[in-house]
Structure 1
């Protein structure tokens, strides 16, 4: 009996002293690679409704009730969950800040805890088109005996589980998108482009992207003004605007572009317009999303990808504008970019 009592005393002492050797907070960085383009990955982390479908912070309770804040300008988006399970409890995650396709910062609040946890993710696109995630999780300091809870239920373990689930889910979604012909930011494709015949206006802007944008606007204004009818609309579908860059002169610090639309049969060319042919052939295709000032970054990614695959690219570039710059938020602007592949 005495031995049993001594053993119990030993257990109690061990239980009381063990937390000394356990961490009172989590402060860890991890790196993961997701087999999907950066735009597709970022969207899943920046939308809490999408995030909630694969996160494992609430996975132990399939009956946990989740609610989401309405999307309102000037307010930070958040999601809340309520659970009767002690392993899940109640909590709230808020998007504290983000930079498109670069980073997302979260604040996580667990009910009855005084402070918030910080959870941040940086996104980097690799030359092969996958996405590297640099994850940093910082928890608040926990009381002495709660160190047991932190050890056995570390949030970084839930991050690991979440990202494993996400990677499996995104592979399925990406395969579906490819079958449907959808293109995501950061994805690269080798495509066969048929000959494109444009009715376009030639412009020679400087290398400055602001000047390029100005010249493109002037060109499209010339074309659209010549095609508008008496009802201030168009008698035909104009299709997507095209911008074809054919030459860059480093000495004069300018470039030659042709901005226009696909040639409409039997439509006479107006003053200042000309017929321009974009040759058929193999092209490297990607999607640029965001302001034009970031376009060179996308071109660099295309060149890095081509280099990693030992693909020789030409100097010319074709852009197809998928939305109207004057009516679309700059972060949501989308442009397909084609660069011709040169055969060895």
Structure 2
């Protein structure tokens, strides 16, 4: 009997003391590489409706009910879920902070728990066009006796399963986007452009984007006013997207020369400083710039690095097609296509 009692005491002591050596919180780092541009991978993490299709943390309960934030009413994006399954529980996943195509910080609040877990994801665009997502998960302090349960529920497996699901989603979506001709931020394509005729005004400015855009705005304003005058107060045709054709970059003199305008409209006489400019046809390396104009050179630099990795020789000229108005669009949402001519070998 004494031996049995001693055995029970030992067992109880082990049960009480073992949590001391078990992790008091999860602090995990994961890296995953995706064969896709950073814009597409980022969107899968940022769009919580898409996120909920591949994450594995709530999949254990097929009856889980999810509620998504309303962009018109809620300050932050979130998905809240409700489950009677103990392994899923109920909680709320919120995007706490983000920088487009650079990082997303989430907080995770489980019902009945005072503190929150955090998940931070950084996105790194590689020279070969692939994207590395770097995840860091940090849980709240795990209550003493809950550490037994947590030891067998390490989130690492769920993360690995989630990333495997995401990898399949990315492949399907990338294939679909390519078939539809959609270009994603961070993607590079070699395209064949025909000869493009522009109605443009020649400008010179310093290399700083603020100076470039001041000159671009002045050119577009001159063209717009001239066309309005010709149409006696109104325009009955679409001017289309603004074009900027850079023909010279001189770093020593801190100067760039470019033509800013629109695609040439037939039978439209040239006015004031306007010229007919022809952008040569041929093969171009194409990418998408998203965000402030001050970051534009970073996009160009990545294109140059990518070209070197593919042994492509690029010209110094550039053609840029702006897809929204810099005067009326938030700087983080500015979008433009950048084309750089590929030199023939």
TM-score over 0.5 for the pair: yes
Structure 1 14/87 Cα, relative in aligned 2: closer, same or farther at 3 Å?
same
**Aligned-pair distance for 1:19?**
2.5
Conserved in 2, the CA contact under 8 Å of 1:137 and 1:156? Answer: no
Question: Which shifted more, 330-339 or 17-26?
Answer: 17-26
SS of 1:282's partner is strand
**Compared CA separation, residues 195 and 3, structure 1 to 2 (3 A):** farther
Q: 1:204 to 1:20 in 2, by over 3 A?
A: same
Aligned-residue offset at 1:78? 1.7
- Partner of 1:79: helix, strand, or coil? strand
* Structure 2 Cα separation of the partners of residues 90 and 211 of structure 1: 53
Match of 1:308 in 2: 309
Deviation at 1:237, TM superposition (A): 2.2
* Structure 2 residue matching 1:325: 3-state secondary structure: coil
Summarize the alignment of residues 263-274 of structure 1 with structure 2, pairs less than 5 Å apart: 263-274=264-275
The Cα of 1:131 is off from its aligned counterpart by 0.9
The residue that corresponds to 1:46 in the other structure is 46
Q: Determine helix, strand or coil for the equivalent of 2:54.
A: coil
Give the secondary structure class of the aligned counterpart of 2:121: strand
After superposition, the Cα gap between the structure-2 partners of 1:199 and 1:62, relative to the gap in structure 1 and judged at 3 Å, is same
Q: The residue matched to 1:252 in structure 2 has which SS?
A: coil
1:258 aligns with 2:259: yes
Q: 1:336 deviation in Å?
A: 0.5
How big is each residue's C-alpha offset from its partner over 1:169-197, in whole Å with a ceiling of 9 and x where there is no partner? 01100100000000000000011111111
Task: Please report how far the alpha carbon of residue 23 of structure 1 lies from its aligned counterpart in structure 2 after TM superposition.
Answer: 0.6
Deviation per residue, 1:103-131 (Å, 9 max, x gap): 11011011111210011011110011111
User: 1 CA distance for matches of 2:41 and 2:234?
Assistant: 39
Pick closer, same or farther for the CA change 1:231–1:84 going to 2, 3 Å: farther
- Secondary structure in 1 matching 2:161: helix
The answer as to 2:318 corresponding to 1:324 is no
Equivalences for residues 139-218 of structure 1 within 5 A: 139-218=139-218
Alpha carbons of 1:15 and 1:263: their partners in 2 closer, same or farther (altered >3 Å)?
same
With 153-162 and 287-296 compared, the bigger mean Cα shift is at 153-162
Of residues 213-222 and 71-80 in structure 1, the stretch that sits farther from structure 2 once superposed is 71-80
CA RMSD of aligned residues (A): 2.0
Structure 1 residue 340: Cα displacement? 0.5
DSSP-derived class of the 1:127 partner: coil
In structure 1, C-alpha distance between the alignment counterparts of 2:93 and 2:342, rounded to whole Å = 46
Q: Distance in 2 between matches of 1:282 and 1:149?
A: 59
Give, in angstroms, the shift of residue 7 of structure 1: 7.0
Output the TM-score relative to the length of structure 2: 0.94
Aligned to 2:249: 248
Shift of 1:252: 2.1
Alignment partner of 1:53: what SS? Answer: helix
Describe the shift of the 1:11–1:236 C-alpha distance in structure 2 as closer, same or farther (beyond 3 A): same
Q: List aligned pairs for 1:43-122, cutoff 5 A.
A: 43-72=43-72, 75-122=75-122
1:259 match: secondary structure: strand
**Across the two proteins, how many residue pairs are aligned to each other?**
344
Q: Tell me what 1:30 maps to.
A: 30
1: distance between equivalents of 2:264 and 2:327? 23
CA distance in 1, matches of 2:19, 2:294: 53
1:301 match: secondary structure:
helix
Offset, 1:330 = 1.5
Q: Secondary structure at the match of 2:205?
A: coil
Q: Give, in whole Å, the separation in 2 of the partners of 1:50 and 1:209.
A: 35
Matches of 2:119 and 2:204, distance apart in 1: 47
Residues in 2 aligned to 1:10 and 1:194: alpha-carbon distance in whole angstroms: 83
